[in-house]
A = this chain, B = another copy of it.
Amino acid sequence: MSEVREIAARARQAAIALASTSTDQRNRALLVMAHSLASRQEEILAANEQDMSDARAQGTAPALLDRLELSPQRLKAISEALKSLSVLPDPIGEVISGSRLANGIWLQQVRVPMGVVAMIYEARPNVTADAAALCVKTGNAVILRGGSLAVNSNLAITRVLASAAANAGLPEACIQSVSSTDREAAEELMGLHGMIDVLIPRGGAGLIRSVVDNARVPVIETGVGNCHVYVHEKADPQMAKRIVINAKCQRPGVCNAAESLLVDEAVHESVLPPILKALEEQGVTIHADDKTRALGAVMRVNPATEEDWATEYLDLKISVKVVSGLDEAIHHVNTYGTKHSEAIVTEDYSAAVRFLNEVDAAAVYVNASTRFTDGGEFGLGAEIGISTQKLHARGPMGLTALTTTKYVAMGSGQIRE
Contacts and interface: CB of A to CB of B under 8 A. Distances in A.
Interface of A: 15-16, 19-20, 99, 101, 103, 105, 107, 114-115, 193, 197-198, 212-213, 216, 218-220, 236, 239, 242-243, 245-247, 250, 330, 334, 352, 354, 356-358, 360-369, 371-373, 377-379, 389-392, 394-396, 404-416
Contacts of A220: 391
B243 A415 contact: yes
A371 B415 contact: yes
A115 B105 CA distance: 36
7 contacts: A197-B390, A213-B216, A362-B407, A364-B406, A368-B414, A390-B404, A394-B407
Contacts of A218: 218-219, 389-391
Nearest to A354: B20
Contacts of A409: 363-366, 368, 372
B390 A246 contact: no
A69 to B, nearest CB: 26
A97 to B, nearest CB: 10
A391 B367 contact: no
A246 B247 CA distance: 61
A335 to B, nearest CB: 9
Given A114-B390, A218-B391, A368 B105 contact: yes
B373 A101 contact: no
B368 A411 contact: yes
Contacts of A15: 360
Contacts of A360: 15-16, 19, 115
Given A20-B357, A193-B212, A390-B197, A365 B334 contact: no
A204 to B, nearest CB: 17
B367 A411 contact: yes
A369 B412 CA distance: 10
Given A218-B390, A358-B16, A407-B373, A415 B364 contact: no
A415 B243 CA distance: 6
B16 A368 contact: no
Given A212-B216, A213-B216, A391-B220, A406 B363 contact: yes
Contacts of A362: 406-407
A330 B114 CA distance: 18
A375 B352 CA distance: 38
A216 B209 CA distance: 10
A377 B101 contact: yes
Nearest to A17: B358
Q: Which has the most chain B C-beta neighbours within 10 Å: A219, A246, A365, A407? A: A407
Given A105-B368, A198-B391, A218-B219, 10 more contacts: A15-B360, A16-B334, A16-B360, A114-B390, A220-B391, A239-B413, A250-B415, A365-B409, A367-B414, A394-B405
A367 B407 contact: no
Contact of A416 (B369, B396, B410): B369
Q: Nearest 10 A-B pairs (CB), nearest first? A: A368-B411, A246-B415, A390-B404, A371-B416, A392-B392, A218-B391, A363-B407, A368-B414, A239-B413, A367-B411
A272 to B, nearest CB: 19
Contact of A358 (B19, B216, B242, B369): B19
Contacts of A236: 413
A322 B362 CA distance: 51
A242 B114 contact: no
Contacts of A414: 367-369, 372
Contacts of A369: 414-416
B416 A404 contact: no
